[in-house]
Structure 1
Amino acid sequence: MKSTQEFLYLQIAQSIEQQIVSGTLPVGHKLPSVRVLCQQQQVSPSTVFNAYYRLETMGLIEARPKSGYYVRQSRAVQRMQRYQEILPSPQKLPPLNPSVSDIIDDIEQFNQLSGVTSFAPATPALQMLPGQKLQKSVREVMRKYSDECLNYAPVHGLACLREQILLHGAHWGFRGSPHEVLVTAGCLEAISLCLQALTRPGDLIITETLTYFGIQQLIQNLGLKVAPVAIHPETGLDMKHITTLLKAHKVKACLFTSNFHNPTAYSLPNEQKQWLAQLAASHQIPVIEDDVYGEVYFGKQRPTTIKRYDTEGWVIYCSSFSKMLSPGYRLGYCLPGRFMQQVARQKRIHSIATSSLVQYTLSHFLQKGRFSYHLKKLRQTLYLNMLKYEQCIDAYFPAETYFAPPQGGYVFWIGFAPNTNTYKLYLSAKAHHIGIVPGQLFSLGKQYKNFIRLSFATPFDQKIEESLKKLGKLANNLNIS
């Protein structure tokens, strides 16, 4: 049977242990001396010595010569702290098989960091935007329409802006009325409203094998099935394949980019645009046309559209001012043809109306003729920019680098040797504060892993050249997967 003294030293040791574990006695705290604790607990010095000795062997306290006993960290705590110190940061560990959403989130967060040279955004740099002219329009609008800007705009959009959009559409051959225009919050919302108006989950649509990742996520979110069609830089869409799909399946809609496709920068030949309009009418299948980059051309004439050949309203044209004038204003539009009622109903359900202030501002800007002047200047700047970027790519990138100089838009679609893993290149570039977009983000079949999309939307300077040179070096040194 254990003695009373033996139980006492254990009780004292356990009491002090609990206070140390709970934090009541912090690390470095000096414990009472043996004499003081003997008096407090009414026990013998040997009992206190045994209690302290037990705590020492547990690593909870330490004896300091001529000073006394002090609380110390346990070995377990020390080991855990050291373990935490040597663990890699979770932020630096990319997922082994990242999803498209994972990569998009990562790109967006990376682009917000300071000191980053990003070739990711397919939108003009702020230096290329008419900020002062837009501010002038804002001031004029607030002076004239301050009360109206506080209210909802009509679901279809302000009449003054719809009139200006109609006049602008005359440049590529649209002949209609303002009542055929629906104002939206950007081109992607226009496409989203159209797909929601025309399809239901499980329906089949036809679109390109490669497409903007925002559209991919939209299609996935709507629960739609996709029949992808290849697009060639010279011959355009595989028309035979489209015809075969229409004969073999019940297709609810088609979705194609007509000009300066994102990411490839390809444009459909005019004869294919006409053929698609005729196909839509003959099969009575709506064709949604994404022409968000149509105005950013480098030639002498604006490329035409699929809508230009539409005579029965089966083509729904979608575009935006975001990519040319002000990404932050988020103002786009669509020409829904015979589907105006269904698309407008979706607009009413999802967003009610588009910003009144932005609509009045854009209407004023267009009415003053400032848009045409801005576009001309923007196209000239982008074209010269593209040529300088192209020279750097030729000079610094690997010998097995393939791309066609864009005829418009903001991006290069660059291919490397077939066994190159551009997600690894993306991670290497990130480590050097350079942003690119790996090609797999644009592929419906998770292909094109040896491609990148590289934007030339930032004005060329020494920093851009140095970043392109570094990117080329990383591509040359890339581990082949």
Structure 2
Amino acid sequence: MRYKELAERCIEDIQSGRIPSGHKLPSLRRFAAQNEVSLTTAQSTYYLLEELGWAKVRPQSGFFASVPPSSNPPPIMPAFTCRTTDPVNHDCYFRGLGTGPLGVASLSPELLPLDSLERSMRRATREAGARMHGYPVSSGEPLLRSALSAHFASYDLHFSANELVVTNGCMDAVRTAIAITTKPGEAVAISSPCYNGLLNLLALMGRKVVEIPTVENGLDLAQLERYMQQGLVQAGLFSSSHMNPTGVSLSSEQKENLAALAGKYRVPIVEDDVYLELGFQRSLPMPVRYWDRSGYVLWCGSISKTLSAGYRLGWCLPGRYRKQYERYRFTESFGVNLPVQLAVADFIGTTQYSRHVQGLKQKLAFQVASYRNYLSSNLPDESRISDPHGGMVIWLQIPGLDSRSLCRMASEENIALLGGADFSTLDLYGDCVRVNCGWPLEGKDRGKAEAGFQLERFIELTHLCR
């Protein structure tokens, strides 16, 4: 819908500062003329901005840009003393709790450039000819590695194509990194709370974990350093931008300090950076890898959250561990699906990917704002709601909530949710829930979409589980 696209663009302009808060917006007629839309569409755009808090109307003066006040404070991040624990595989996905619009961090297909991807696949298949049927290069298709190198260089994140190793998604990249840097029984430092998929992975690999508290600007690096200094952790596994589930991003200072700690104590840091490009600001936040001077940061990413989860395509920049990483990949598999690699290389190389990501960021910023607005208006007054500046998930804290009971009741109604207990080995987040915002709340006909119906029922269930 055109009015929603225009609202998304306006929100991005206000968030980035291109339209300062308090700045007068164009009149409805002028806005309609500038964007070649009807006056009705212009009105719908401004009314939606007003509803979401991104515009305010002043009598006889018009509409003015605004930043919506956060009526709900963010969830409390508990302070605690670190200790070594054993992760447990919660089997969320096998229990059916990891599927559906609210349960898994994923995008609605309507946000994806499906037709363009199909054209890239056909073009890549035609140009590759018989080569399409051979074994792929174990470290990754050179065309794809070159395309990724050029793409990230546009963000001032430079690396050689030969340094990159292509994997079957980000989790596969992380799994390989953990396998070559640690042994079963050794401890890996993680953020608290931590993405449940990483906890399940570490449990299956037989690793112990040390949860590091989340603080206002990132992680409690003082406690992390003590564990590094004493040799109590053999590696770290962190997201640094738009963490799942909290949405927290490390400050640039924290990222630089984390890279320095890795080099100082020679402790490898595996960086799961799958949400890097989904920040709502125009500039890209640099990963920890940007400040790495000693090669101890293994930077992992994928297109699963930006383009296609089904393609299972990711990568790792393994730093000083490159030879071990490539050797492990060579002995474990014969590489990654070649047609998919060539199709994605084509899609990135034609700059369609950059344009898609810019548009996707606008849509996600709009959807996160819509979810927050709806939740804030309907959850109990004392509820706490995260205000992420990127990614696609919201972290909720509802005092008195029994999130296990909530998720069980929701599952009985085929509504997927993940409670706080799934994101920690400690008994800290029982009143928390993660909600995915990757699916629109409204359908194309302005009616409520499935995600909207599920969110409405989720709110009703929260009142029954307190």
Normalised-by-shorter TM-score class: 0.7 to 0.9
CA distance in 1, matches of 2:331, 2:218: 36
SS in 2 for 1:231: strand
SS in 2 for 1:194: helix
Are positions 1:475 and 2:462 aligned together? yes
Runs ≥4 residues deviating over 6 A:
none
* Cα deviation digits, residues 81-124 of structure 1 (max 9, x gap): xxxxxxxxxxxxxxxxxx7534432225x83xxxxx63012111
Amino acid at match of 1:276: L
Contact 1:184 1:333 in 2 (8 A): yes
CA distance in 2, matches of 1:330, 1:385: 25
The corresponding residue for 2:61 is: none
Q: Which moved more, 1:457-466 or 1:262-271?
A: 457-466
Of residues 397, 402, 417, the one that matches 1:421 is: 402
1:446 positional shift: 4.4
Are positions 1:200 and 2:186 aligned together? no
1:172-211 paired onto structure 2 within 5 Å: 172-211=155-194
SS in 2 for 1:101: coil
Of residues 386, 391, 397, the one that matches 2:368 is: 386
CA distance in 1, matches of 2:340, 2:101: 28
The corresponding residue for 1:259 is: 241
Cα 1:299–1:279 shift into 2, 3 Å: same
Q: Which moved more, 1:363-372 or 1:99-108?
A: 99-108
CA distance in 1, matches of 2:288, 2:375: 33
Of residues 106, 123, 128, the one that matches 2:106 is: 123
* Cα deviation digits, residues 133-156 of structure 1 (max 9, x gap): 000011111111131121111111
Cα 1:142–1:336 shift into 2, 3 Å: same
The corresponding residue for 1:236 is: 218
Amino acid at match of 2:94: D
The corresponding residue for 1:166 is: 149
Amino acid at match of 1:373: R
Are positions 1:453 and 2:434 aligned together? yes
1:30-429 paired onto structure 2 within 5 Å: 100-107=89-96, 111=99, 118-232=101-215, 234-417=216-399, 419-429=400-410
1:167 positional shift: 1.2
Contact 2:410 2:458 in 1 (8 A): yes
Report which structure shows greater RCO (CA 8 Å, sep ≥6).
Answer: 2
SS in 1 for 2:385: coil
Alignment coverage as a number of residue pairs: 373
CA distance in 2, matches of 1:346, 1:262: 28
CA distance in 1, matches of 2:182, 2:210: 14
Contact 1:121 1:457 in 2 (8 A): no
Amino acid at match of 1:385: Q
SS in 2 for 1:226: strand
Contact 1:124 1:458 in 2 (8 A): yes
1:365 positional shift: 0.5
Of residues 452, 455, 463, the one that matches 1:465 is: 452
Amino acid at match of 1:421: D
SS in 2 for 1:298: coil
Query: Structure 1, unaligned stretches of length 5 or more?
Result: 1-98, 112-116
Contact 1:123 1:324 in 2 (8 A): no
1:199 positional shift: 1.1
TM-score w.r.t. the length of structure 2 is 0.77
CA distance in 2, matches of 1:207, 1:382: 26
Contact 2:393 2:437 in 1 (8 A): yes
Of residues 393, 416, 434, the one that matches 2:415 is: 434
Contact 2:157 2:290 in 1 (8 A): yes
1:376 positional shift: 1.0
Cα 1:289–1:171 shift into 2, 3 Å: farther
Query: Structure 2, unaligned stretches of length 5 or more?
Result: 1-87, 443-447
Whose Rg is larger?
Answer: 1
Contact 1:162 1:181 in 2 (8 A): yes
SS in 1 for 2:315: strand
SS in 2 for 1:447: coil
Task: Note the aligned Cα RMSD (angstroms).
Answer: 1.6
CA distance in 2, matches of 1:271, 1:231: 15
TM-score w.r.t. the length of structure 1 is 0.75
* Cα deviation digits, residues 188-208 of structure 1 (max 9, x gap): 000000111111112222111
The corresponding residue for 2:14 is: none
* Cα deviation digits, residues 394-449 of structure 1 (max 9, x gap): 111122211121111110011110x3211111122233332211111111224311
